[in-house]
Amino acid sequence: MGILKECINKKVTSSIPIWFMRQAGRYLPEFRKIRSENSNFIELCLNPTLSKEITIQPLRRFQIDAAIIFSDILLVPYSLGQDVVFEKGLGPKLGKLDFDKISNISDDEILEKLKPIYDLIKLVSNDKIMKNKDLIGFIGATWTLLVYMLNRQSPKKINNGIYTNPKIDQIIEKIIHCQKLHIKNQVLNGASIIQIFDSWAGLASEDQLEKYIYRTTKELVEYTKNLGVEVICFPRGIKSYKKYCDIVKPSAINIDYEVDPFKIAKDIKIPVQGGMDPKCLLLDKDEMLKNAKKYLDVFKDHNYIFNLGHGMIPETNPENVKILVNFVKDFR
């Protein structure tokens, strides 16, 4: 068991666990070299040898406590037969959603498309660099995947047509079925923790939270826990983290950088992860560490995992990451 899992299990740890969302990727020069030679992002994610290399690159540089697999939440729609491409500067573009096609796709077809991810997890979990470290697998939350699949690109706001789609309930059930398959096979191949990313939770209207976020994510959390694995949820932009935790009951909660950490520390009893604005890593050393210390002080009496309130941004200097990691590890 790694220190991250110990913290989630509410044990006293020798130091504060630390890792970063999007730690594997775009800010590292060694990743950029691989990316420059592999223009198709989906193919790169589905290349176990290269995705394993990208996954462990940050562990070679920094004293972080976990690896998160180099993959993407949109590989679930891809596995369901929806076209997914990533256009430089524009982000993901998804093809037309053919409900009859996705409803008829078999589990074997889904798993065949996702098999390279499980091969990646097996390769990483068997690498000696992972000794005493946790390996984080992940999925996108049902709501976020639904938004992408129906909107077909990153949304700025919710098109109300999503709510009136006549087949929305069947689409949701198919997504959940695929998510469970994906969670199970990540765990079977070595993932010790699962994180659920609800990147667009903040776009759901208050009257739709129960149907689209609470119910669906609670089902996935319970499923994951029944596999004997801890689950971290990141409902970015959710209005009430306390209500979310009370209903969904994740093992730990990742907070975004717009939420008041003092309120979180007061209201939430489960382990907390994250919070600091990724832009703080662009500041000078003293300012960056001042922001980090705020979170370390706020959660000093809480089981806390240091992370960010969103993913690492491309402009991040790896040297700043090293300084921050060492600061957190030495913090008492």
Q: For position 160, what pLDDT does the model report?
A: 63
Q: For position 126, what pLDDT does the model report?
A: 96
One-letter-per-residue 3-state SS of 219-260: HHHHHHHHCCCEEEEEECCCCCHHHHHHHHCCCEEEECCCCC
CATH number of the domain encompassing residue 211 = 3.20.20.210
Cα 97 to Cα 272: distance, rounded to the nearest angstrom: 36
Q: Cα 117 vs. chain centroid, distance in angstroms?
A: 15
Best CA proximity match to 72, nearest among 30, 123, 21, 32: 21
**Below-50 pLDDT ranges, the chain:** none
What would the two tokens of residue 214 be? Answer: 């609470």
Domain that holds residue 9: 3-330
Phi, psi of 92 (to 5 degrees): -75, 145
The model carries a pTM of 0.96
Residue with tokens 């309130």: 309
Per-residue buried b or exposed e for 147-180, using 16+ beta carbons within 10 Å of the residue's own CB? bbbbbbeebeebeeebeeeeebeebbebbbebbb
Domain count along the chain = 1
Cα 205 to Cα 158: distance, rounded to the nearest angstrom: 9
Best CA proximity match to 81, nearest among 47, 110, 115: 110
Cα-Cα-Cα-Cα dihedral sign, residues 262, 224, 220, 98: positive
Element (H, E) at 305: strand 304-305
Q: For position 161, what pLDDT does the model report?
A: 67
